Amino acid sequence: MVAARNPGRPSPFLERYLLWADRHSKYILVAPAIVLLIALIAFPLFYLFDLSLRDVSILNIRSGEAPYVGLGNYADVTVGPASMGPALLRTMIFAGWAVSIQLLFGLGLALVFNRQFVGKNLIMTLILVPILMTPVVIGIFWQLLLNAEWGLVNELISFLGISPQVWLGNPTLAMVSVIGVEIWWGTPFVTLILLGGLSALPQEPYEAAAIDGASSWQSFRFITLPLLAPILMIAALIRTIDAFRAFDIIYVLTGGGPGTATRVFALEIFETAFQRNVYGTASTQAVVLMLVILVFTALLLRRLGKRA
């Protein structure tokens, strides 16, 4: 005779499935979000790479008959007529100066705000105002301040006996101006990150150094900087990626001018795609920019891993 099946007990298959689902519930719950995220990232990247291998322009993008050129676009943007070398150099100058000074100012402000003093909360609130503003608003704001005829910056330097400057019309001053605005905008972010790192540092090494008679500079040089180095590198990584992708502020301030003085990588891509309407070349430039950022990120993460 066949044994009577308990109606209240699930089948062996269902029992195994429920046991498996219970063990892997955390992965099952996040799986839809991961699949959606991969789809949203993978498809645009695949489409971008496909465009970079074709001669796509406003003349053939609707017809769908863009000819396949292989690595021809990559040759054009590296050593050909559409070389990205000058734009990459301008971007590296912009990012190098902006990020270095942001880290320096951010570290100084973090050390100041790591102490208690009267008016600390008010001053810190005022310093954090730039990161509450959108890049376009910042660009318009500083465009007014740097106006050659009636800008506040020229009014202030006139009290020092300095003649008015054409901040956004002179090639050298234009680059200095966009770097200065980027520093003004990004320094509060670096300050917040480093302030969090300073507040988490252990106090025992400082107490031991004080007992041994170490000065404030020695404590900073041999304790604070080594312990804070991983946080500094993370801040440098984030701000460098942002600097390499910089577009909004520079576009509003100078539009990449005068001439090509401030046409960084992102602006070069914009000009190729939406002014020259050469989408295949612009896609190639975007892929190159992505690869540059990935290589730089990998190098910094490798360095960070060695320090850890």
**Residue position matching structure tokens 């680059």:** 175
What CATH number is given to the structural domain containing 250?
1.10.3720.10
Domain match, 214 and 304 both: no
CA gap 140, 14 in Å, rounded: 63
- 301 domain-assigned: yes
Residue 304 has pLDDT above 90, yes or no: no
Beta carbons of 110 and 194 less than 8 angstroms apart:
yes
118-130 pLDDT tens trace? 888 899 889 989 9
Tell me the residue range of the domain where 285 lies.
46-83+278-308
Q: Give ∠ CA 233-227-104 in degrees, rounded to 5.
A: 50
Domain match, 64 and 204 both: no
Domain match, 102 and 201 both: yes
Domain count for the chain: 2
Domain match, 130 and 246 both: yes
28-85 pLDDT tens trace? 788 888 888 888 888 888 989 988 998 888 777 776 677 888 888 888 888 777 788 8
Domain match, 76 and 120 both: no
Domain match, 123 and 176 both: yes
The pTM for the full model equals: 0.85
- 230 domain-assigned: yes
- 37 domain-assigned: no
Q: How confident is the model at residue 15 (pLDDT cuts 50, 70, 90)?
A: confident
CA gap 230, 15 in Å, rounded: 48
Q: Give ∠ CA 296-298-302 in degrees, rounded to 5.
A: 120
Predicted pLDDT of residue 57: 84
Domain match, 175 and 219 both: yes
Domain match, 231 and 130 both: yes
Mean pLDDT across 224-230: 91
Domain match, 68 and 215 both: no
Predicted pLDDT of residue 248: 92
Q: How confident is the model at residue 154 (pLDDT cuts 50, 70, 90)?
A: very high
- 63 domain-assigned: yes
Domain match, 157 and 302 both: no
